[in-house]
Amino acid sequence: MPIYHNIKTIFVRVPKTASMSIAEKFNTLDVLKRYHDRDYSMEPTNILAIHENIKDMRDRVNINSFGDYRKVAFVRNPWDWLVSYYSYYKKTDIRKVGVLIDGQYIFGDDAINKIGVQVAEKRNLRNRSFSDFLSIIEDESEIYDKEKNLNQIDHPYQPQYKYLVNEEDQIIVDFIGKYENIQSDWTLLCEYLQLNKQQFRTLSLPHHNKSNHDDYRTYYDDNDAERVCNIYKKDIELFDYSF
């Protein structure tokens, strides 16, 4: 889990929001803090964490740590978010890139068997149009409101707010940055976490694993844009997004 004891931070890794880059930076800052304070009682965090929601993380950590640590996350415009997902899976062979499960990458047919053929089919987009991709999500979307605790492996396209809420659908994350403002919001986050350059060598945030695609609006006609609006209405309202 991406829990950083030395900087007292819990990072909720919403997929496709530069979460790997942020997790790597948090890991570096956590180690530097440990070195600076000469406090070796805490073990560094393993950054190979799955995309867990805040409820799962709360239930798996010490209750005092959960209460005392700052909970942070980033979100992304749903229309752009889906184009990023589509572009990634359009060129991805799960057998070759592997699937991250419980901190370990699994490759080949084992990856398909582990996540299940049905789930693998949701990610096999090499011969599907973007509109077909939205249909896959649309077919699954009925479960999004009914189920309170969906995991990312089985439901990769669940709304982003699901990662950040408790059982009553109340957001229990302290800081939510936006992917669109990632550099400026990263600076605000460092200030919020009281991380400063006097104590750390560098706070700049690199961006790894970035998908390349055209402006997300070019992927949509009016009907498809409306479909996303209907499926991700709560994300759009909570995080103040528009097409």
Check whether 229 has a pLDDT greater than 70: yes
Residues 213, 22: Cα–Cα separation, whole Å: 21
Under 8 Å between Cβ of 23 and 13: yes
Does the pLDDT value for residue 177 go beyond 90? yes
Please compute the mean of the pLDDT values over residues 3-32 and round it to a whole number: 89
In a domain, 15, yes or no: yes
Residue 52 lies in a domain: yes
pLDDT of residue 220: 97
In a domain, 66, yes or no: yes
- Burial of 125 from C-beta contacts in 10 A (0-12 / 13-18 / 19+): buried
pLDDT range class, residue 116, cuts 50, 70, 90: low
At residue 113, the pLDDT reads 57
Residue 59: what residue type?
A: D
Mean of pLDDT values over 232-236: 97
In this predicted structure, the answer to whether residue 75 has a pLDDT above a threshold of 70 is yes
* Banded pLDDT at 96 (limits 50, 70, 90): very low
**What is the band of 127 on the pLDDT scale with cuts at 50, 70, 90?**
confident
Most confident of 3-7, 33-37, 222-226: 222-226
Q: Per the domain annotation, does 171 fall within a domain?
A: yes
* Contact present, 53 and 169 (Cβ < 8 Å): no
pLDDT of residue 38: 52
Of 175, 196, 195, 194, the closest CA to residue 185 belongs to: 175
Helix, strand, coil shares, percent, the chain, to 5 = 50, 10, 40
- Would you call 149 exposed, middle or buried from its count of C-beta atoms within 10 A (0-12, 13-18, 19+)? exposed
Task: Report strand pairing: 99-101 vs 104-106.
Answer: antiparallel
Angle at 28 between CA 32 and CA 74, to 5 degrees: 130
Report the pLDDT averaged over residues 53-64: 86
Rounded CA separation 69/26 (Å)? 14
Check residue 210 and give its pLDDT. Answer: 61
Indicate the range of 7-16, 54-63, 209-218 predicted with least confidence.
Answer: 209-218
Question: Rg (Cα) of the chain, in Å, rounded?
Answer: 18
Domain of 41, in residue numbers: 3-91+126-238
List the alpha helices (DSSP H) in 91-148: 94-97, 108-115, 117-123, 130-140, 142-146
Which contiguous run of DSSP H or E holds residue 71? strand 70-75
Mean pLDDT of the chain: 81
How many structural domains are present in the chain? 1
In terms of Cβ atoms closer than 10 Å to its own Cβ (0-12, 13-18, 19+), residue 128 is middle
- Read off the DSSP letter of residue 165: B
What burial letters (b/e) apply to 180-217, b meaning 16+ CB within 10 Å? eebeebbeebbeebebeeeeeeebebeeeeeeeeeebe
145 within domain boundaries:
yes
CATH number at residue 193: 3.40.50
Higher pLDDT, 222 or 106: 222
